Structure 1
């Protein structure tokens, strides 16, 4: 048995070369983020329930802005592309069309975008069977907590309902090298490493002003739609109301003269009491203008043009259609594109290849004028081939089976259309029967040349036929 010294020194008493540790690709700053709370959940820095209650549930501007963005984004279908070609029957396309037995695609993405706008965070759960993705579920952000790992990023997520908690380990692979079970979407937060920043937080001051103005107006209606006044006791010198008299008058005022139902009711005074109305008015407080300005700031935080929310005093857009196009181009499309890229990056490992998800914008009515203008410009570009035009508008090249020269008779079973320029090499009859060799297109026929110029091989022989 060799001694410990000999095993350390190696043969001949030489010091063995140190074994280098395997290199790992990771950020050197990650452990600094995870050091204070490694293995323990990191709580959100603000109350999501308060944001949802004061913003979405109690403020009409926030509610409508969230609904407009979420519904518009959820209405855009996502197309699956592999190797540059659309695959409508791909398993991922079927999963997105029916993500779970309860929700359709629009309902799932509506909840996903709604959580993202209200909380700045959104979570999707992937349910897999033997590594095959089967269902997708949107989870509530207020119940989810990030559990950082040694590298500083999330190694797990804790989902808590009441006293019960479920942990989703991000390094877990169900039956193989599939994707992690949770996708965490965030909006950029400059002061937090794990959680996103919600638009409702950016509009918190405007939200409080808007809600306070509404509360002021409600209180004003409860007090006969006018500012209150003061009861002045003008009794004999040195005489004051007793505590019992003061409490009795106060109770009578609250019971008989306060509230909208008692508006205009005459006030009966006695014993030296005099009513002095206050001069303060809603116009003096200027709360109407303050409320309108706060509403526009809320709409700005969500990226919704105030005109679309019916807010007065904003003439930035020339008309409603232009505001709608701006809403789609600057708010909805960037949100959908970013979400599609995150989904593709998350789910691609489950489908054995690089996939790409792209929003299908052809069905967006608001973008129809832009689409028509693009097609008109591309169609008028005579220096582009058909395939180049198709690529420019996002449809890709024609299938190989539909190309001239791809099959029997040089046309792949597809006869040339009237007006197509067809060239046959020397020795061919030029009639498309396949007896004269393979057929080829003659690219970019020179204008004004009835013979069509040179053949593809440059021989200049043969004939040009227009069928």
Structure 2
């Protein structure tokens, strides 16, 4: 890991670019000043949840990828109440945030970290008069918030392989933009959907392992060998030899259907599943729906059977954008805009007219507003979320 980009040449935080008044909360000093880790409410740590709920679970993996890719693909607009900018230093920075990533890649990583851990950290490198030169998304599991005496974050500590770097938080500006989900029991870290769906993830993964074990054993509990010999039971050596022979010669997919030759005194008793034993498949599908519910993805979009909440795929896709993708993108882009240019009246937000899933809805809204003769042009533009005019030149902020 190269740490050079985490250090400024003079080892000082970025100089404030504009004065922003900050008021201290009366409850800040009594807030928790020390946290034991990202997951204060549960013994489940972020790394284990990501491995189980994302890397090893197809439902969690697809839900996170679907939300992150959809949100990162949204067209963004930068505007004030009176004008919209076609070009701006902030738009140029987002279009090429660093030499290794483009806008879609950076935002996908940002949304992914927020969904998986409840926290997302963006580092601004090379701060100048117009803001940072580069943007980098840092791994949430490597970052730790350092609370100050007043309860607000005094800095951020990033750890990799035993090495640590501390980002200091200045009064008006900070090199780290921390975006977190709502957590009712933590002062500094957010609550991820994976934490809420942790039990459903365990059930779904256990059901998958159960299915794999069934396939390894000819997809059914084959049966039992019953000893009917003269002795009360098999000797220890006989039992071990018989178990090894069954494991080697008769278990697994390649040995399915292979006839078994029994010695004297052994009798084969076939066994099957009871109806209650077969309910694990329904349990798995129920757990998959719970995982999708935690992330806000309609199960229909993930190919999960048994969900009839929406009449068709188009309605489910529209609800997905309206209830999940757009609120997430609006909150993240607003936080980035306020961090890059604090105190400005600029607003960075998704362009609703460029979302295919909302095309019919936006067309109907445009038609209603356009036919309202009692409204002025300025009032119509405001109702449609448009500024009074569009600026074509590059603005410096």
Q: Same fold (TM over 0.5)?
A: yes
> 2:290 matched to which residue of 1?
297
1:140-151 equivalences under 5 Å are 140-151=139-150
- Whether the aligned pair in 2 keeps the contact of 1:123 and 1:183 (CA below 8 Å) is yes
Q: 202, 211, 219: which is aligned to 2:205?
A: 211
- Whether the aligned pair in 2 keeps the contact of 1:34 and 1:153 (CA below 8 Å) is no
> 1:424 matched to which residue of 2?
none
Structure 2: give runs of 5+ residues left out of the alignment. Answer: 1-21, 392-397
> 1:169 matched to which residue of 2?
168
CA 1:27/1:390 → structure 2, altered by over 3 Å: closer, same or farther?
Answer: closer
> 1:387 matched to which residue of 2?
378
Cα deviation for residue 145 of structure 1 reads: 0.7
Structure 1 distance, partners of 2:165, 2:389, is: 50
Q: Are positions 1:153 and 2:147 aligned together?
A: no
Cα deviation for residue 190 of structure 1 reads: 1.3
Bigger mean CA offset, 87-96 vs 281-290: 281-290
- Whether the aligned pair in 1 keeps the contact of 2:86 and 2:390 (CA below 8 Å) is no
CA 1:392/1:32 → structure 2, altered by over 3 Å: closer, same or farther?
Answer: closer
In terms of Rg, which structure is larger? 1
Structure 1 distance, partners of 2:275, 2:256, is: 17
Cα deviation for residue 319 of structure 1 reads: 0.9
| Structure of greater relative contact order (alpha carbons < 8 Å, 6+ residues apart) | 2
> 2:30 matched to which residue of 1?
32
> 1:418 matched to which residue of 2?
none
1:429-456 C-alpha deviation (Å, 9 max, x unpaired): xxxxxxxxxxxxxxxxxxxxxxxxxxxx
Structure 2 distance, partners of 1:378, 1:295, is: 42
> 1:106 matched to which residue of 2?
104
1:357-376 C-alpha deviation (Å, 9 max, x unpaired): 12112111000000110111
> 1:311 matched to which residue of 2?
304
Q: 211, 214, 220: which is aligned to 1:220?
A: 214
Cα deviation for residue 151 of structure 1 reads: 1.1
- Whether the aligned pair in 1 keeps the contact of 2:84 and 2:390 (CA below 8 Å) is no
1:113-152 equivalences under 5 Å are 113-131=111-129, 132-152=131-151
Q: Are positions 1:373 and 2:364 aligned together?
A: yes
Cα deviation for residue 130 of structure 1 reads: 3.5
> 2:394 matched to which residue of 1?
none
Cα deviation for residue 30 of structure 1 reads: 2.2
Cα deviation for residue 42 of structure 1 reads: 4.6
Structure 2 distance, partners of 1:227, 1:96, is: 57
| SS of aligned partner of 2:262 | coil
> 1:363 matched to which residue of 2?
354
TM-score of the aligned structures, taking structure 2 as reference length? 0.87
CA 1:375/1:28 → structure 2, altered by over 3 Å: closer, same or farther?
Answer: closer
Structure 1 distance, partners of 2:29, 2:368, is: 54
Structure 1: give runs of 5+ residues left out of the alignment. Answer: 1-23, 401-467
Provide the aligned C-alpha RMSD in A.
Answer: 1.9
Cα deviation for residue 282 of structure 1 reads: 7.3
Structure 2 distance, partners of 1:116, 1:96, is: 18
| SS of aligned partner of 1:88 | strand
> 2:64 matched to which residue of 1?
66
1:39-438 equivalences under 5 Å are 42-45=36-39, 46-82=44-80, 84-131=82-129, 132-171=131-170, 179-236=173-230, 238-281=231-274, 284-349=277-342, 353-398=344-389
